[in-house]
Amino acid sequence: MKIYGDTKSGNCYKVELVCNLLNIDHEWIDVDILAGGTKSDEFLKKNPNGKIPLLELDSGETLSESNAILNYLASGSDLYPHGGLAQAHVLQWQFFEQYSHEPFIAVARFINKYLGLPAEKADEYAAKQTGGHKALQVMEQQLTRTPFLTGENFTTADISLYAYTHVADEGGFDLEAYPAVRAWLDRVAALPNFRKPQNELERTNMTAYVCRFKNL
């Protein structure tokens, strides 16, 4: 199977992370969003909506939308409950992520980190802060009661919310006011087979290299 994605994207990291956690063999094909990679004729033939991540199976069939891909790949594992209220709770948090979390935290991160917080985006950025903190407060309330978002067990709901929450500071969100969220981030990062996004690993390795160079 092939996964088309951009390592800068939290939505793509969701898919990268579930593959790592479940040891799913795949080929990663990098698509640069900022360079217009999702708008090429070749890519639009695979996904007319022009978005990543995109999963392409060996059969040639494709699946888009990050949470749909997550749940498909995790189907049959403990990460995605089969039916009933347990599955509905996973979906509840994934819809929350798409409608009440990602539009604020991810967009604020994009404005700040990738656009450099231009003056013409200042009002939009400020508005995103309000919505983002509301989402973090909802998560904090739940995570003071349970170790993971749906209860005692780690699920794809946690992957969905982890992707952009763990880099919320890049969007100007200070997580000091959310101790339960920070503890949850640590629990996720301590899972077997957990890996940071490729771009974070590359940045960490480069920082270590620079530090070693300076100490020579």
Same domain membership, residue 101 and residue 70: no
Residues of the chain with pLDDT under 50: 203-216
**Assessment of whether the complete model's pTM goes beyond 0.85:** yes
Same domain membership, residue 67 and residue 38: yes
Same domain membership, residue 99 and residue 143: yes
pLDDT at 192: 96
Residue 117, token pair as written in the block: 């917080």
CATH code for position 145: 1.20.1050.10
The answer for 124, left when phi > 0, alpha when psi is -120 to 50, beta otherwise, is alpha
pLDDT at 202: 53
pLDDT at 187: 99
pLDDT at 214: 38
What CA–CA distance (Å, rounded) separates 27 from 124? 37
List beta partners, residue 56.
2, 62
pLDDT at 206: 31
User: In which domain, by residue range, is 143 found?
Assistant: 84-189
pLDDT at 200: 63
Same domain membership, residue 144 and residue 65: no
In contact, 56 and 46? CB cutoff 8 Å: yes
pLDDT digits (tens, 9 = 90+) for 89-147: 999 999 999 999 999 999 999 999 999 999 999 999 999 999 999 999 999 999 999 99
Q: Is residue 210 part of a domain?
A: no
Same domain membership, residue 116 and residue 66: no
CATH code for position 65: 3.40.30.10
What CA–CA distance (Å, rounded) separates 200 from 39? 25
pLDDT at 198: 76
Distances (CA, A) of 48 to 100, 133, 161: 25, 33, 26
What would the DSSP string read from start to end of the chain?
-EEEE-TT-HHHHHHHHHHHHTT---EEEE--TTTTGGGSHHHHHH-TT--S-EEE-TTS-EEESHHHHHHHHHBTSTTB--SHHHHHHHHHHHHHIIIIIHHHHHHHHIIIIIS---GGGHHHHHHHHHHHHHHHHHHHHHHTT-SBTTBSS--HHHHHHHHHHTTGGGGT--GGG-HHHHHHHHHHHTSTT----HHHHHHHHHHHHHHHHHT-
Last residue of a domain, one of 74, 97, 124: 74
- How many domains is the chain built from? 2
pLDDT at 199: 65
In contact, 16 and 197? CB cutoff 8 Å: yes
List beta partners, residue 55.
3, 63
Same domain membership, residue 59 and residue 22: yes
